[in-house]
């Protein structure tokens, strides 16, 4: 499978412009024969645009996700719609953690436009961030698991990277490709790279992190979207500028690595 990571230039509060860039990235990924393209965290309004969250919030059938579902069909590609601010009260027909409030929600669309997985960020960030005050945490991390092009995919989001037990649980459910849409800022570059690589090494699976490229008042996203293989080797990585990177990933490689070096099998509880 060819995996694409769309490191978008995200403008603070400019929803229409940001969604247009996302659709353009989907089209470019399809032109490069990618099977799955991933977008960053809260790509449509910008993670640090906290004062815009209520205005930007929409249900799962809202305008942003509808456009991306349509793009998946038009270009024949699976799309991880990064995350958006979801208005839980506006969502119907899907299990939600609350009857009202806002959530940080990722949706994976199949190439026929259908919703394959819905993941609501489990660990909300509180350090110099209003996220934990404004949003409701997701309660079912396994809701982000689905089958895509021979992989069992698991979705997590940004701050989740700091909680290895979440990833171990997903791997115990058969996940062999972890997707991590994010809005990771400077100066924590080493944390960003080290934590993602560690999740790949300890779980012997692919980890793909897709970050934004943007400057907000007081914060700058550091980019460096990266695909790590089951050994923790970097297969593709961006700098801090907007970029679309691709990498070939193979579920059989996960099986071979786990057979060659059976660390997961040697675990003791």
The phi and psi torsions of 90 (rounded to 5 degrees) equal -90, -5
Residues 6+ apart with CB under 8 A from 46: 10, 11, 12, 13, 14, 18, 52, 183, 212, 214, 216
Task: Please return the burial class of 28, using the count of CB atoms within 10 Å of its CB with bins 0-12, 13-18 and 19+.
Answer: middle
Q: Which of 38, 52, 86, 158 is catalytic?
A: 158
Distance CA 106, CA 240 (A): 23
Instruction: Return the structure tokens found at 45.
Output: 């309004």
Q: Is 158 a catalytic residue?
A: yes
The H or E element spanning position 227 is: strand 226-228
Residue 250's Cα: distance from chain center in Å?
19
Residues 6+ apart with CB under 8 A from 174: 145, 152
Q: Which of 121, 131, 146, 205 is catalytic?
A: 121
The three-class DSSP label of residue 154 is strand
The phi and psi torsions of 24 (rounded to 5 degrees) equal -60, -40
Which residues carry out catalysis?
41, 121, 158
């Amino acid at each position: 499978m060819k995996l694409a990571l769309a490191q978008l230039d995200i403008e603070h509060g400019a929803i229409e412009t940001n969604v247009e860039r996302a659709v353009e990235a989907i089209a470019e990924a399809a032109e490069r024969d990618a099977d799955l393209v991933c977008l960053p965290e809260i790509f449509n309004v910008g993670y640090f645009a906290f004062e815009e969250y209520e205005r930007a919030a929409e249900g799962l059938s809202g305008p942003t996700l509808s456009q991306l579902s349509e793009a998946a069909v038009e270009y024949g590609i699976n799309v991880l719609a990064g995350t958006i601010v979801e208005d839980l009260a506006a969502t119907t027909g899907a299990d939600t953690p609350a009857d009202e409030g806002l959530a940080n929600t990722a949706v994976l669309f199949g190439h026929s436009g259908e919703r394959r997985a819905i993941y609501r960020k489990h660990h909300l960030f509180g350090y110099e961030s209003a996220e934990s005050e404004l949003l409701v945490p997701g309660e079912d991390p396994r809701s982000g698991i689905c089958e895509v092009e021979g992989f069992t995919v698991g979705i997590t989001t940004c701050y989740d990277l700091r909680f290895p037990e979440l990833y171990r649980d997903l791997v115990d459910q058969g996940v062999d490709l972890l997707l991590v849409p994010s809005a990771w800022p400077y100066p924590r570059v080493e944390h960003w790279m080290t934590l993602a690589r560690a999740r790949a090494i300890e779980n012997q699976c692919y980890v793909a992190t897709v970050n934004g490229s943007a400057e907000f008042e007081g914060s700058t996203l550091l980019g460096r979207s990266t695909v790590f293989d089951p050994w923790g080797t970097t297969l593709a990585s961006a700098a801090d500028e907007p970029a679309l990177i691709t990498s070939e990933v193979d579920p059989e490689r996960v099986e071979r690595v786990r057979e060659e070096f059976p660390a997961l099998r040697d675990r003791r509880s």
